[in-house]
């Protein structure tokens, strides 16, 4: 086996609409990558086949063969049990699939897996905005709100491996309906779906006009982060109100994480943050300052934008494989 800096690792991010693969070294440098889109709710065997094809495409770009890979890490939108079972991935329609065993058999590498937001947080901890921090909370603002928690270099997901679900903590009694079925979740306000339902209400119930209607052909649930950023920068009143409200709620989520955990770093990532990050950060921080306790915990927490962009999950998965396998 090769040693030291010449080892290579594969990270796969299995998302709700895409599969992304990186070939990385132990310092987080990317030597090759590939991405394949899909339409969601795809069966497990199909995803395995597409993932293997993406791995081979990424290896080609890196000019590496399968034999030169030391280990594989996978990030998937599901709780992951220690035996590598993905318990439930609502966005993909999976129940109890043997994620690690199947990929290990297909590709022949030592294989490890983590929940995608845990992997993203771990990636930011190893290579991005949370380096050298003892406790890192990651909050990822995309279609939903994903959360992850890393402490002393380990992913903390609770004793049943299904915890750290920051997006489904409640911020409003009897509030908006969330994708999980409950009401008043952080995700129902601070995610792209929360923004979409605010905009739809303004247009359909309050009779307001917004450039977002044209940018998404009236299908607000399909609003892209880039469209939100465009309307926000153009100071479209409905877009500004919707996004400011989401930022205020994200600030509550940040405050709750500070109050519970007093982490040294909270990393904010995800598609909406990538598109709007620096425009939103001050508002999120000031909402967090008002809502967190004690003031000393707010002062001791650094709230930062993610650095790894949409590579966070794949790189974090590779880093998780390096750590778990002690490569």
Q: Which residues are near Zn ion by CB under 5 A?
A: 168, 178, 180, 182, 185
Based on CB atoms, which residue is closest to Zn ion, 168 or 304?
Answer: 168
Q: How far is the CB of 60 from Zn ion (least distance, A)?
A: 40
Residue 270: φ, ψ to 5° = 100, 165
Give the count of beta carbons closer than 10 Å to the beta carbon of residue 55: 25
Q: How far is the CB of 167 from Zn ion (least distance, A)?
A: 6
Q: How far is the CB of 185 from Zn ion (least distance, A)?
A: 3
Based on CB atoms, which residue is closest to Zn ion, 185 or 273?
Answer: 185
d(CA 238, CA 258): 30
Give the count of beta carbons closer than 10 Å to the beta carbon of residue 290: 12
d(CA 317, CA 312): 8
d(CA 115, CA 309): 17
Q: Note whether 258 and 288 are within 8 A (CB).
A: yes
Based on CB atoms, which residue is closest to Zn ion, 145 or 317?
Answer: 145
Based on CB atoms, which residue is closest to Zn ion, 19 or 190?
Answer: 190
Q: How far is the CB of 186 from Zn ion (least distance, A)?
A: 8
Closest CA to 215 of 205, 58, 203: 203
Element (H, E) at 9: strand 8-14
Cα 155 to its chain centre, rounded Å, is: 14
Q: How far is the CB of 160 from Zn ion (least distance, A)?
A: 18
Place of tokens 């080609």: 60
Residue positions counted in the chain: 327
Q: How far is the CB of 166 from Zn ion (least distance, A)?
A: 11
């Amino acid at each position: 086996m090769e040693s030291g800096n010449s080892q290579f690792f594969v990270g796969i991010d299995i998302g709700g609409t895409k599969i992304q693969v990186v070939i990385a070294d132990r310092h987080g440098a990317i030597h090759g990558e590939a991405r394949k889109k899909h339409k969601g709710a795809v069966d497990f065997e199909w995803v395995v086949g597409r993932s293997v094809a993406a791995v081979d495409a990424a290896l080609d770009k890196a000019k590496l063969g399968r034999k030169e890979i030391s280990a594989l890490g996978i990030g998937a939108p599901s709780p992951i049990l220690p035996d590598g079972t993905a318990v439930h991935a609502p966005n993909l329609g999976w129940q109890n699939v043997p994620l690690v065993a199947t990929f290990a058999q297909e590709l022949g590498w030592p294989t490890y897996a983590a929940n995608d937001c845990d992997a993203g947080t771990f990636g930011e901890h190893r290579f991005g905005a949370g380096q050298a921090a003892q406790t890192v909370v990651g909050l990822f603002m995309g279609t939903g709100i994903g959360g992850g928690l890393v402490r002393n270099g380990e992913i903390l997901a609770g004793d049943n491996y299904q915890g750290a679900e920051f997006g489904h903590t409640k911020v409003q009694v009897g509030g908006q309906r969330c994708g999980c079925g409950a009401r008043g979740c952080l995700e129902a306000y601070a995610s792209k779906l929360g923004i979409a339902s605010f905009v739809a209400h303004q247009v359909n119930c309050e009779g307001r006009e917004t450039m977002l209607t044209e940018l998404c052909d009236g299908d607000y649930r399909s609003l892209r982060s880039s469209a939100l950023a465009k309307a926000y920068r153009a100071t479209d009143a409905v877009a500004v109100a919707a996004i400011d409200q989401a930022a205020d709620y994200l600030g509550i989520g940040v405050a709750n994480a500070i109050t519970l955990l007093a982490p040294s770093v909270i990393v904010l990532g995800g598609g909406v943050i990538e598109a709007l990050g620096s425009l939103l950060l001050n508002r999120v921080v000031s909402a967090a300052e008002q809502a967190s306790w004690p003031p000393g915990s707010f002062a001791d927490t650094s709230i930062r934008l993610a650095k790894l962009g949409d590579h966070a999950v794949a790189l974090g998965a590779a880093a998780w494989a390096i750590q778990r396998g002690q490569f």
